[in-house]
A and B are shown apart, each in its own frame.
Chain A
Amino acid sequence: MEKEEIIQDAGEIPVSTAAVYSESIHEDRTAKMFLISSIVYFFIVGIIALLIAAKFVFPTFLGTIPQLTYGRLRPLHVNGMLFGWLLACDMALMYYIVPRLCGVKLWSEKLGMATAVLWNVIILGAVVSLLMGWNQGWEYAELPLPLDVAVVVAWVMFGANLFLTIANRKYKAMYVSLWYAMGTILWTAFVYLTGNFATLFATGVNQANLNWMYVHNAVGLIFTPVGLAIAYYFIPKTSNTPLYSHKLSMIGFWSLAFVYVWTGAHHMIHGPISQWLQTITIVFSVMLLIPVWAAVYNFFSTMKGQWHQLRDNVSLKFLMSGVVFYLLTCFQGPMHSLRAVNAIVSKTDWIPGHAHMAVLGAFSFFAIAGAYYMVPRVFKTELYSNALANWSFWLFLIGGLGFFVTLWLGGFWQGWQWNNPAIPFIDTVIALKPIWHTRLASGFLMFGGIVAFAYNILATIVGSKGKEVHAEPAAAAA
């Protein structure tokens, strides 16, 4: 297809017929199973999120029942959202995207289904173990050792399936999403092994340093590359517009590969690590602006002349809002690494505001957009409700903005107070009450978004049984 032809049609909903559906070579059983389970966890862990937000406002809420204390619920929320919802949904989208970009079937649906079953066993095991307090006590690495081993096994199964699909591909040149998919598989292996196994053999500051390297790169080298793989695939697909520059996407990929691994130590600035390591992490953190801007410029340039599509296209709304949040969160990261800024915001509420904008605002928005695009296609039906999809977008956006902005401001306020030794600590806690009230209210809005999204997707799936589709679902372009 010529470039001019594509751009001329760019305002149209991508056209595909039901006949094409029936001839599809893709079974998508694995993608479906991962997606459905991830959305169920999104809903359940969303309730946990509300409970812990409520505990900031009502500290005696749920009393002293051990399983319902903040110390048990918080790691469940973090692990549930990271691995139960987001990574599982990202894996579903990889099982959808990779075979299509390669022009071949997934290497093994059986292996994929076994991976999905094992992943669900891991998540359910995590729920039980974390509620029971079987916790290794390391940020993002709380799961007990047997579950860590199971994660490694599942990841090898996932990686082998995708690499063999890519090795069997029809086309030699690989689109950038495939590069990011492969990068995710390799970097996750490296990051997860370091964070969950290498830390067991280190002590003191070295152990803490390894842990922060893992925590930061769990976002930077797991959720970032897979999120970008999704964005690079779905932004051109949903807008029916070719990517602005594939070369620029390659620059973004390779600069991310070179830069990201050194940035984790910026969480320990002003801590007991050596000054040279602090300086290195600051330099590499600021250099992150290169891969980030390469990706964001590419996405914005792709949308040049196509912004009107945002009016009716829900997937594109999620994708482009996610790009803006990605830019903002990746501007915050380098700024947070600067010594002067770090002295104020480190360890304050600014950090969860920043982390939620990355994981929810950027990468979950990409995943939700992918789910809205993928579900009608793999179930060969129409989306249950476009209006509900729009509601889910606005609830997520308004709730998310309320959460992020309030916590950034509250974090600065908190940091300034902590830096003043004349203010008693308890006064700094009392002063933050309005921030935590807003956080809870924003949480209710975001949970409303989860409910609308989950109901819409599950109603689409349930309604697809026995339903014939004669045209491309309009909402799928949504």
Chain B
Amino acid sequence: MSDFNIPSVAFIYAFIFLVAFGALFFFFRTLRDGYWGKNSEDVKYRMLEDDENGGEYGRK
């Protein structure tokens, strides 16, 4: 029987680092997109509005 231990462990560590890299990448993008800025709280008020018709500017 072939021993896949080394490739499987390499796979899982590569996968974990890929996910960690992705998390870091998107985390820094949130900085750029203003999620930590002064208007970052607006979204929590907007979500309370009626959204059945797509919200205030809803489109069909």
Give chain A's interface residues, CB within 8 Å of chain B.
1-3, 6, 16, 20-21, 23-26, 100-101, 103-105, 170-175, 177, 186-187, 190, 194, 198, 201-204, 206, 210, 213, 233, 236-237, 240, 242-243, 245-247, 250, 254, 257-258, 261
Given contacts A16-B52, A170-B54, contact A202 B8 (CB under 8 A): yes
Q: A104-B59, A204-B5 are in contact. List 20 more A-B contacts (CB 8 A).
A: A1-B45, A1-B48, A1-B49, A6-B45, A16-B50, A25-B52, A101-B51, A103-B59, A173-B33, A173-B34, A173-B40, A187-B19, A198-B11, A202-B5, A202-B9, A203-B4, A242-B45, A242-B48, A250-B40, A258-B23
Which residues of A lie under 8 Å from residue B49 when comparing CB positions?
1
Give complex CA distance A104, B57 in Å: 10
Which residues of B lie under 8 Å from residue A103 when comparing CB positions?
51, 54-55, 57-59
B48/A237 in contact, CB under 8 A? yes
Give complex CA distance A436, B39 in Å: 54
B60/A25 in contact, CB under 8 A? yes
Which residues of A lie under 8 Å from residue B36 when comparing CB positions?
247, 250
Closest to B18 in A: A190
Chain A contact surface mostly:
helix
B12/A198 in contact, CB under 8 A? yes
B30/A250 in contact, CB under 8 A? yes
Which residue from B27, B42, B47 sits with its C-beta under 8 Å from A254? B27
B53/A23 in contact, CB under 8 A? yes
B12/A210 in contact, CB under 8 A? yes
Closest to A173 in B: B43
Minimal beta-carbon separation of A270 from chain B (angstroms): 22
Which residues of A lie under 8 Å from residue B44 when comparing CB positions?
175, 236, 242-243, 246
The 9 closest A-B pairs by CB, nearest first: A201-B4, A202-B8, A24-B52, A103-B55, A100-B51, A243-B44, A257-B23, A201-B8, A103-B54
Interchain pairs with CB closer than 8 A, number: 122
Give complex CA distance A163, B47 in Å: 19
B52/A21 in contact, CB under 8 A? yes
Closest to A168 in B: B59
Give chain B's interface residues, CB within 8 Å of chain A.
3-5, 7-9, 11-12, 15-16, 19-20, 22-23, 27, 30, 33-36, 40-55, 57-60
Which residues of A lie under 8 Å from residue B41 when comparing CB positions?
245-247
B19/A261 in contact, CB under 8 A? yes
Closest to B23 in A: A257
A171/B55 in contact, CB under 8 A? yes
Give complex CA distance A2, B3 in Å: 63
Minimal beta-carbon separation of A379 from chain B (angstroms): 14
B40/A246 in contact, CB under 8 A? yes
Which residues of B lie under 8 Å from residue A206 when comparing CB positions?
5, 8-9
Which residues of B lie under 8 Å from residue A171 when comparing CB positions?
43, 46, 55
Which residues of A lie under 8 Å from residue B40 when comparing CB positions?
173, 246-247, 250
Minimal beta-carbon separation of B28 from chain A (angstroms): 11
Give complex CA distance A254, B25 in Å: 11
Give complex CA distance A198, B12 in Å: 8
Given contacts A170-B58, A246-B40, contact A24 B47 (CB under 8 A): no
Which residues of B lie under 8 Å from residue A202 when comparing CB positions?
4-5, 8-9
Give me 6 A-to-B residue pairs in the complex whose CB atoms sit less than 8 angstroms apart, sorted by A's number: A1-B49, A6-B48, A23-B52, A242-B44, A250-B30, A261-B20
Give complex CA distance A213, B47 in Å: 35
Give complex CA distance A25, B47 in Å: 16
Minimal beta-carbon separation of A373 from chain B (angstroms): 13
Minimal beta-carbon separation of A10 from chain B (angstroms): 10
Closest to A241 in B: B48
A170/B4 in contact, CB under 8 A? no
Closest to B7 in A: A201
Which residues of A lie under 8 Å from residue B23 when comparing CB positions?
254, 257-258
Give complex CA distance A26, B58 in Å: 11
Which residues of A lie under 8 Å from residue B58 when comparing CB positions?
25, 103, 170
A233/B55 in contact, CB under 8 A? no
Which residues of B lie under 8 Å from residue A101 when comparing CB positions?
47, 51
Which residues of A lie under 8 Å from residue B59 when comparing CB positions?
25, 103-104, 170
Give complex CA distance A261, B48 in Å: 33
Give complex CA distance A242, B12 in Å: 40
Which residues of B lie under 8 Å from residue A240 when comparing CB positions?
48
Which residues of A lie under 8 Å from residue B34 when comparing CB positions?
173
Give complex CA distance A171, B20 in Å: 27
Closest to B58 in A: A103
Minimal beta-carbon separation of A283 from chain B (angstroms): 16
A203/B60 in contact, CB under 8 A? no
B8/A25 in contact, CB under 8 A? no
